[in-house]
Amino acid sequence: MITGIGHLCIGVSDLDRAVDFYTKTLGFELGERRNINGRTLVNLRVPGEGDGATMLELYFNPAEPGAGLRHVGLIVEDVWKAAAQLKEMGVTFHRDPPSPDAEGAPAIAFFRDPDGVEIEILEEWN
Per-residue model confidence (pLDDT) at position 125: 56
Burial (CB < 10 A; 0-12, 13-18, 19+), residue 112, is middle
**What's phi and psi for 30, nearest 5 deg?**
-70, 130
Domains and CATH numbers, the chain: 2-122 (3.10.180.10)
Residue 100 Rama label (left phi>0; alpha psi -120 to 50; beta):
alpha
Query: Mean pLDDT for each 10-residue chunk of the chain (126 residues)?
Result: 87 92 88 92 82 82 86 92 94 91 84 89 75
Per-residue model confidence (pLDDT) at position 123: 87
Per-residue model confidence (pLDDT) at position 52: 65
Per-residue model confidence (pLDDT) at position 84: 94
Per-residue model confidence (pLDDT) at position 30: 92
Q: Give CA–CA dist 1/4, Å, rounded.
A: 9
Per-residue model confidence (pLDDT) at position 27: 86
Give how far Cα 17 sits from Cα of 34, 41, 44, 45, Å: 17, 14, 14, 17
